[in-house]
Amino acid sequence: MDTIKISPGKNNVGAYINDINLNLLNKDLIEQIKNILKKFGVIFIKKQNIDSNAYQAFAESIGQLVEYPRLKGLENFPYINVLERKPTDKSLAFGGSWLHQDTSYLEKDRPRFTCLLGIEIPKGQGNTIFSSGFNAYKKLPDEIKQKIKNAKGIFSSAGPISKTRIELEKRAGIQSSKVMEAEHPIVQEVNGQKSLYVSPGHLIKIKDVIDADSDKIKKFLLDHVNKDEFIFSYEWSKGDLVLWDNLSIMHKASEIKNCTRIMHRITIK
């Protein structure tokens, strides 16, 4: 079979996969998509015309689906969570304001991938903002790489991002769960490349930094991953499918106002 065509996202964050139809999946195509995902961390597939069956089938070809208790599932598709923004909503969007890596506060069995499908997209707003941990690590000064080579981050569900989450859970009638905390190396080896894993929305402390003040290093790293040169603000169209690996890619929602936006989300192990 032909090799599928890709083009880089802005600032080399992820890759677009062009000219494919996810209704026509086959083993070879899935293998190619998986390899692109491994290499780039996030893939953007524009304007697909897929129903929930095809969406779920695609997600299943990537890995094991996970129920995500913080959001409600779609009827008959418990693994498809609905992220809905209404014109009357005043607060930030779910996951807004802080770059983060989903569920970094879990010690074991962190769901690895997050997939979003654009169902209803407002014009000119509601971008999702990505930053690549691969690119951020590569551009670190060698001196910093040395200092953080054994460092671990402490990630908490009560980190800076939690304010938005708690508000949204209240609105959805979901009871806020207990605080979860986990420790992970902040330099992760992902498919043969090093990635900076600092989930700014959840990181509360860094430990085991060599020869430096850990709070200063923390601030440096958080400023670093937020630099324009690592950011891709992705503008959605209806039917776009975006899939990312939470070990290598950080994301956040942007602020939206006075509009409806519906995304279908699947979490994958």
Nearer residue to Fe ion within complex by CB, 114 or 147: 114
Q: Choose among 157, 150, 148: nearest CA to 213.
A: 148
Q: Which two tokens stand for residue 12?
A: 């080399």
- Could you tell me which stretch among 98-106, 190-198, 201-209, 220-228 binds Fe ion (CB under 5 A)? 98-106
Q: Which of 9, 14, 95, 111 binds Fe ion (CB under 5 A)?
A: 95
Instruction: Tell me if 96 contacts Fe ion by CB under 5 A.
Output: no
- Could you tell me which stretch among 26-34, 96-104, 143-151, 213-221 binds Fe ion (CB under 5 A)? 96-104
Distance of closest approach, residue 102 Cβ to Fe ion, in angstroms: 5
Nearer residue to Fe ion within complex by CB, 135 or 267: 267
Nearer residue to Fe ion within complex by CB, 102 or 245: 102
Distance of closest approach, residue 246 Cβ to Fe ion, in angstroms: 8
Nearer residue to Fe ion within complex by CB, 95 or 159: 95
Q: Which residue's Cβ has the minimum distance to Fe ion?
A: 95
- Could you tell me which stretch among 94-102, 154-162, 184-192, 212-220 binds Fe ion (CB under 5 A)? 94-102
Nearer residue to Fe ion within complex by CB, 164 or 209: 164
Instruction: Answer yes or no: are the C-beta atoms of 34 and 45 closer than 8 Å.
Output: no
Instruction: Tell me if 102 contacts Fe ion by CB under 5 A.
Output: yes
Tell me the angle at which helices 27-40 and 52-62 cross, rounded to the nearest 10 degrees: 70
φ/ψ of residue 214, rounded to 5: -65, -30
Instruction: Answer yes or no: are the C-beta atoms of 260 and 126 closer than 8 Å.
Output: no
Q: Choose among 222, 219, 254, 248: nearest CA to 101.
A: 248
- Whole-number Å distance between alpha carbons of 200 and 68: 21
- Could you tell me which stretch among 90-98, 147-155, 213-221, 233-241 binds Fe ion (CB under 5 A)? 90-98
- Could you tell me which stretch among 61-69, 74-82, 93-101, 256-264 binds Fe ion (CB under 5 A)? 93-101
The count of residues interacting with Fe ion (CB under 5 A) is: 2
Beta strands in 145-186 (DSSP E): 152-156, 181-185
Burial readout 126-164 (b: 16 or more C-beta within 10 A, e: otherwise):
bbbbbbbbbbbbeebeeebeebbeebbbbbbbbbbbbeb
- Whole-number Å distance between alpha carbons of 236 and 242: 9
Nearer residue to Fe ion within complex by CB, 16 or 113: 113
Which residues would be at the binding site for Fe ion (CB under 5 A)? 95, 102
